[in-house]
Amino acid sequence: MGKRFGILTSGGDCPGLNAVIRGAVLKGETVYGQEFVGFRDGWWGLVHGEVMDLDRSVVRGLSHQGGTILGTSRFGPYQEPDGGAENIAKVLDRLDLDGVVAIGGEGTASASKRLYEDGINIVGVPKTIDNDLDATDYTFGFNTAVEIATEAIDRLRTTGNSHKRCMVLEVMGRHAGWIALYSGIAGGAHAILIPEQPESIDQICAWVTSVKKRGRSPMVVVAEGFKLPEMSDAHSTKGLDGFNRPRLGGIAEVLAPLIQERTGIETRATVLGHIQRGGVPTGFDRVLATRLGMATTDLIADRGWGQMVALRGTDIVRVGFDEALANHKTVPQDQYQEIRVIFG
Ligand SMILES: Nc1ncnc2c1ncn2[C@@H]1O[C@H](COP(=O)(O)OP(=O)(O)OP(=O)(O)O)[C@@H](O)[C@H]1O
Ligand SMILES: O=P(O)(O)OC[C@H]1O[C@](O)(CO)[C@@H](O)[C@@H]1O
Ligand SMILES: [Mg+2]
């Protein structure tokens, strides 16, 4: 039975990817005698057979390093002219590889499922700062993003207080407002705006005004995917991403002048952007990522193709791609209402 496997990282990067790679290589080598290569730049490396060796010496000291040593992209495995399961099977054969470990978010898992159904030996590891994968209680990278966003709120608060301004912080979150919700609660925001829950500008201004009336400086946290009720799509002025989806970002800059104009309170917008995805992972994310990487070696040793490793409670479990992709994990209405009652 083959013992050589290829690892790739796909979609947006996130803190903890390197810790997964390290966990897999260390346990795979030590316990199972497995060998690994890394595909460069996501699916692109798999489609084109571009690999780097991954062994103990390469992964040394990687658990605290942000980004991914393999590189990542939004290139798709079925992308013409060289993509598709038939060609990928030939690449795996040529490189003498028995299977693929794809570390990625919902899009990467959808692509993996399709490849699995087309006969490729593949397993998944869930990642994304957005925490929107239903397969797992938490994705690694999310905790780090929340810490960074919370620190940003703390910093905006002191400058906001000094100038008696309303501060609006925009965080990532295309379909799911988890980063906004968690960092907003941690930072004591006066309003949290998420993609799952439209709020009117009148309501937002009512919260801001009531904060100001108490003599405090209002702090609003908004996810990039938030929409006012009259908006049909999330705010996007930056063109398309590598997979032809609108790039989001800038809703804070739309809201700030509206708030200022309606409330008379000087208002400033900050877009946190990719700062949330860079740099060292938190301890929590390093542990989660390392455990997921290690559990992946058990999964491939068992030839558990078509499954992902995932966190359920404190256990690392296995979930089929079908089940993993059945639902998108958005913020439930009751969890939002729980905190909304104290806005303003
Ligand atoms: N249903 C699909 N079939 C084939 N390929 C897909 C599919 N969905 C996504 N892909 C490919 O996989 C790539 C990675 O997916 P995506 O860009 O959505 O990132 P992700 O893995 O969801 O991570 P994140 O959302 O955290 O950035 C896409 O850019 C696209 O090329
Ligand atoms: O790195 P890019 O292509 O700008 O992607 C940004 C997107 O990636 C994510 O960080 C992760 O999916 C989203 O929150 C955000 O919309
Ligand atoms: Mg995605």
At residue 1, the pLDDT reads 57
What per-residue string of b and e applies to 119-153 under the rule 16 or more CB within 10 Å gives b? ebbbbbbbbbbbbbbbbbbbbbbbbbbbbbbbebb
Question: If you measure from the C-alpha of residue 109 to the centroid of ligand 1, how many angstroms do you get, rounded to a whole number?
Answer: 7
Residue closest to 52 by CA, chosen among 71, 65, 74: 71
> For ligand 2, what atom is nearest to the CA of residue 105?
12
How much is the average pLDDT of 287-313? 98
Residues with CB under 5 Å of ion ligand 3 are 105-107
Q: Which of 13, 41, 130, 285 is catalytic?
A: 130
How much is the average pLDDT of 149-153? 98
Instruction: For residues 94 and 74, give the distance between their C-alpha atoms in angstroms, rounded to a whole number.
Output: 24
CATH 3.40.50.460 fits 143-277, yes or no: yes
Report DSSP letters for 86-126, one per residue.
HHHHHHHHHTT--EEEEEE-HHHHHHHHHHHHTT--EEEEE
> For ligand 1, what atom is nearest to the CA of residue 105?
21
Which positions make up the binding site for Mg(2+)?
A: 106
Q: Please write the tens of the pLDDT for every residue from 59-86.
A: 999 999 999 999 999 999 999 999 999 9
Q: How confident is the model at residue 102 (pLDDT cuts 50, 70, 90)?
A: very high
Nearest CA to ligand 1 atom 21: 105
- Domain span(s) for CATH 3.40.50.450 in the chain: 4-140+281-324
Put simply, whether the predicted model's pTM sits higher than 0.90 gets the answer yes
Nearest CA to ligand 1 atom 11: 76
130 is catalytic: yes
Peptide bond into 81 cis (omega under 30): yes
Question: If you measure from the C-alpha of residue 228 to the centroid of ligand 2, how many angstroms do you get, rounded to a whole number?
Answer: 21
How many Cα atoms are found within 13 Å in the side-chain-facing hemisphere of 72?
21
The one-letter amino acid code at 201 reads: I
Which residue carries 């925001």 as its tokens?
A: 189
State the average pLDDT for the chain: 97
pLDDT greater than 60 at residue 195 = yes
How much is the average pLDDT of 284-305? 98
The contacts of residue 341 (CB under 8 Å, 6+ apart) are none
How much is the average pLDDT of 221-246? 96
pLDDT greater than 60 at residue 235 = yes
Nearest CA to ligand 2 atom 7: 12
Instruction: For residues 296 and 301, give the distance between their C-alpha atoms in angstroms, rounded to a whole number.
Output: 8
CB of 41 sitting under 6 A from ligand 1? no
Question: If you measure from the C-alpha of residue 249 to the centroid of ligand 2, how many angstroms do you get, rounded to a whole number?
Answer: 10
Tokens in use for 293? 């990487």
For the segment(s) 4-140+281-324, the CATH number from 3.40.309.10, 3.40.50.720, 3.40.50.450, 1.10.150.120 is 3.40.50.450
The contacts of residue 86 (CB under 8 Å, 6+ apart) are none
- Domain span(s) for CATH 3.40.50.460 in the chain: 143-277
User: Could you report the predicted ipTM of this complex, rounded to two decimals?
Assistant: 0.96
Which residue carries 């316990």 as its tokens?
A: 31
Which residue carries 């790739």 as its tokens?
A: 8
Please give the DSSP secondary-structure letter assigned to residue 240.
Answer: B
